[in-house]
A and B are shown apart, each in its own frame.
Chain A
Amino acid sequence: MAERNIVEAINSALAEEMEADPRVMVLGLDVGKLGGVFRTTSGLVDRFGAERVVDTPLAEAGIVGASLGLALAGMVPVAEIQFLGFTAQGFHQIGPQLAKYRQRSRGRYHCQVTIRAPFGGGIRSPEFHSDGVEAQFVQSPGIKIVMPSNPYDAKGLLIEAIRDPDPVLFCEPDRLYRGRRSEVPDGAYTVPFGKAQLVREGEQVTLVAWSAAVELCLRAADALVADGISAAVLDLRTLVPLDVETLCAQVAKTGRCVVVHEAPLSAGFGAEISATLMEEVFYDLDAPVARVAAFDVPFPPASLEDYYLPSLDRVVAAVRRTMEA
C-alpha cells in the first residue's frame, strides 16, 4: 500500500475516476500543464488530454455555470475553484443555481458536479485566499459539503463526491496538503458521506472538528494528556449531510464538548453543532458546549494569522475551562 499526502491522494482519486469513466473531466484555472497551483491535477492533462483536463477563462461563475451545463449534457465535471474565498465571484451559480437545479426542474434534471476548492489559513497566503466560508454554503440546501482532514479520507470522499448524482462542494485543507503522508490504497474506494469518524478515543471530553482543525485537535488532545485529560476527537468529515447520530452519541458519552473551527465564530458551523447538542443531548451534558473559532473580523494579513486562527493554546485553554465547569 502506498503512502500519500493529501495532494497525491486527490490526484490519485481524479486519475482513478477519469480512467474508469470517460465522462469525468476536470476544469478550472491552471489545472492543465501547471497541474494546479497546488499540483493536485499534476500529470492529468498528459494522461487524459486537453479535452478532459481544461484550462478555463478566469471566471468563477463561468466555471460553475458551465459545469452545470456540462453535467446536463452527460459529462461528469470536477471543477476547481482555485481558492474557496473566490467562490464569492461564482456564488450565485453554486447556491442558487447548482444546489436548486433538481428542485427547480421538478426532478427532471440533476447536477452531478463536484467543485473542489482549497481553503484555510496557516500558509501565509495573500488576502481572500484563506477565507473559511464553508458555513455560507450550508444555507444553500441541495449541495453537499465535504471537508476531508487526511489523505485517506481525501481520496475516498472525493471519489464518493464524483460519483454522487448531486452537487458536492469539496473543500481541501491547503495547510495540510503536503503534511504527513499516510496509507492511501491504490485503486478506487469510497468513504461514505454523513459518517463522522472518531479519530481519537477519549473519555472525558469530545473535540469536534473538520478539515485542518482536526489536526489541531489531535495535537491539543496530545497536549492535554499531561494535564491528565482524556480527550476524544471527532472528525465530522461532511457538514452536509451531518452525522447527528454519531455526534450526539459521542458527546453524550463524554458529557463535555468543544467545537473547533477556523471560520469566524458567529454563525459558524460550530453554532449549528452546539444548537444540535442542546436539542438532542442537553441532559447528558456536564458542561456548556464550548467553541473555539477564528474571531469575528475579516481574515487579517498573513503576518497576523497565527493570532486570528484557533491556536493550540486556545483549544487547550477551552478544554480546561470545560473540564472545570
Chain B
Amino acid sequence: MSPRTAPSKNRAVQARRSVLLADGTIAHGARPRMEEEFLLEALRWMMKSRLYDQKVIALQRQGLFGVYSPGIGQEACIIGSAMAVDPVRDWMVPQYRELMATVHHGLPLEVITAQYLGKIGPARIPEGVKVLPTQVSIAAQLPQATGLAWGLRLRRQDSVVITYVGDGGSSEGDFHEGLNLAGVTRAPIVFFLSNNQWAISTSRKVQTATRNFALRAAGYGFEGVEVDGNDVMAVYDVTCEAVERARSGGGPSLIAAETYRMSFHNTTDNPSRYQDQKDYDEARSRDPIERVQKYLAGLGLWDAKREAQWTEEIREENERAMKMATEAPAPRPEDVFANVYEEPPPRVIRQRADLVDGQGG
C-alpha cells in the first residue's frame, strides 16, 4: 500500500497512516517519532508478546493453561499504542487481546498470568498500576472507560485513558453509548480499535457497511484516524497525537488500526473452518515484527545473532513469570466468597461458614 499524505477534506477522517512499509522501508515523506533505540525497544516488546503467546498456546495444548486469546499478528497495535501512554499518570482499560500492552503499562507478567491460571490474590492488579481488569463482555469496557476519563478530569488529574476494542465490538450498543458520551463530555480518552478482520469466525464485512471504522468517529463529533495496524511506528505516532489531543483538552479520538488476527480467536477455535489460506498468507507477508527486523537490519542494527540472543533472553523472562504464577498460592475454597462485598451480608457469611465446615449449606 502506498502512503497517502494529503490530508482528507473531512477533518474527522484522515487518510490511513503508514510509516514503516511491509518490506521494511520507510514510506515516502514519513517523519516518524520513533528513533532507532526506541524502535528496538518496541521490537523487543513485540517479540516478548509473540513468544509469550506461543508459549501459552503450547501450555494450553498440554492442559496447563486456561482458554487464551493470543495477539499474534497484532503486536504493532498492542505495543505501539501502549508506548504512547504514560504508565505513571494514564489509565489503560483493556479488552482481552492486549495482554502485553497491560504489561508494558506496569502490570507484572506473573500477575496477569496468574489470572489465567485461576489464582486470586496473586492475580490482583497491584496498587498504583493504572490498569483495569481484562474485559470479556464485549465492549462493556467502553462506557466504563469514558466514565473513568470523565471522572479523572473532574478530579483535576492530568490523565488520559486508552481503551481497546475490536471490529466485532464496534457493533455493540456499548460502543455507541461509550463513544457518544465521550464526545458529549469531551473526555480525555483514546479509543483504540484493532480491526483484526475477525470476530471469532465472523468477517469484519458483517460488522459495518462503512468503508473504514474511523468513519464512525464523525458521528460522535470527534477525530477518527485510520492507521496501518501492522506498522508499529505509525501506530505509535497516531496514538501519541491522540493522547496529546486528549491531554490538552481536545477531546476523544478513535483510532482504527487495520491488522490481521494471525492466530485463532482463542485456544478453542479452529480458523481452518472459515478462513481463506490466501488471506492468512497475505497477512503473513505484512508481519509487524518482521518488517521492523528488516528495517533495523538495513541499518546494521539487527542480525540473526541478535535475534537468537533476544529470543533466548525473552524466553527466560517469560519462563520466570510463568514459574512465579504457577507457584503462587492456589485459591482456597473460601476464596469463592472473597472480594464480593466490603461487608458480606449475614447470609453470605453463613454460606461461607457452611462451605468451610464442609456442610455445603
Contacts and interface: CB of A to CB of B under 8 A. Distances in A.
Interface of A: 25, 51, 56-57, 59, 61-62, 64-75, 77, 92-93, 96-97, 101-110, 141-142, 164-166, 194, 240-242, 244-245
Q: Which of A64, A72, A73 has the most CB of B within 10 A?
A: A73
B146 A105 contact: no
Contact of B150 (A57, A70, A164): A70
B339 A62 contact: no
Contacts of B121: 106
Contacts of A69: 143-151
Given A72-B132, A73-B151, A75-B151, A194 B125 contact: no
A275 to B, nearest CB: 12
Interface of B: 115, 120-121, 123-127, 132-133, 137, 140, 142-152, 154-155, 157, 173-174, 176-178, 180-181, 184, 338-342, 345-348
A240 to B, nearest CB: 6
A57 B123 CA distance: 36
Contacts of B184: 56-57
A56 B181 contact: yes
A61 B181 CA distance: 11
A105 B150 contact: no
B146 A141 contact: no
B361 to A, nearest CB: 10
A166 B342 contact: yes
Nearest to A193: B345
Contacts of A25: 154
Contacts of B152: 73
B339 A106 contact: yes
A48 to B, nearest CB: 12
A106 B125 contact: yes
Contacts of B155: 73-75
A251 B125 CA distance: 46
19 contacts: A51-B154, A57-B180, A57-B184, A59-B143, A59-B176, A59-B180, A61-B173, A62-B143, A65-B147, A67-B147, A69-B145, A71-B151, A72-B132, A97-B137, A102-B342, A104-B133, A108-B125, A142-B341, A242-B345
Contacts of B149: 69, 73
A56 B177 CA distance: 11
Given A66-B146, A92-B137, A106-B123, 20 more contacts: A57-B180, A59-B176, A61-B177, A62-B143, A65-B140, A65-B147, A69-B147, A70-B147, A70-B148, A70-B151, A71-B151, A75-B155, A92-B174, A93-B174, A102-B342, A106-B124, A106-B125, A108-B124, A241-B347, A245-B346
Contact of B137 (A70, A74, A96): A96
Contacts of B348: 141
A33 B125 CA distance: 41
Q: Which of B121, B148, B151, B342 has the most CB of A within 10 A?
A: B151
B151 A72 contact: yes
A165 B342 contact: yes
Contacts of A66: 143-144, 146-147, 150, 178, 181
Given A74-B155, A92-B140, A107 B338 contact: yes
Contacts of A104: 133
A62 B147 CA distance: 9
A73 B147 contact: yes
